Amino acid sequence: MILGVGIDIIEHQRIEKIYRTHGKKFLERYFHQDEIEYSLSKSDPIPHLAARFAVKEAVIKTLNIRHRIGLLYKDIEVAGKNFGKKNLVLKGKIAEIAQQKGVKNTHFSITHSENFSVAVVILED
């Protein structure tokens, strides 16, 4: 049974501005090390960072978490370095919340165009 569906769209310009302003501090606060390495290995890392950020936002929406205080975006990881199938890994506080809500399986899809990245997340029991 589907427990929740979340979607997020993000402008690349927004991520680029934050990255230019905060650099490594931004990356280390919001992304797992493998996500950083994968994204920075691309000629233009911004769409890849934006897509992963959108996944994190979609997970938070799917779990219906209104108060994000104390949540770590790094607890939501898009794992996988190759083109194609990636895995969604939930850790820490996010994993606890997902477990309390009965989440057993996660599904997601990400895409990006020239200016936007979009993520859809489905959680099921």
Q: How many domains in the chain?
A: 1
Quick: pLDDT tens for 35-86.
999 999 999 999 999 999 999 999 999 998 877 666 778 899 999 866 667 8
Q: Over the stretch 84-115, which tens digit does the pLDDT of each residue have?
A: 678 999 999 899 999 999 999 999 999 999 99
Contact 79, 108 (CB under 8 A): no
**Domain of residue 42, CATH code:** 3.90.470.20
Q: Which domain holds residue 101?
A: 2-124
Per residue in 24-46, pLDDT tens? 999 999 999 999 999 999 999 99
Provide the whole-model pTM.
0.92
Element (H or E) spanning 62, and its range?
A: helix 46-62
Q: In the numeric block, which tokens belong to residue 57? A: 């936002």
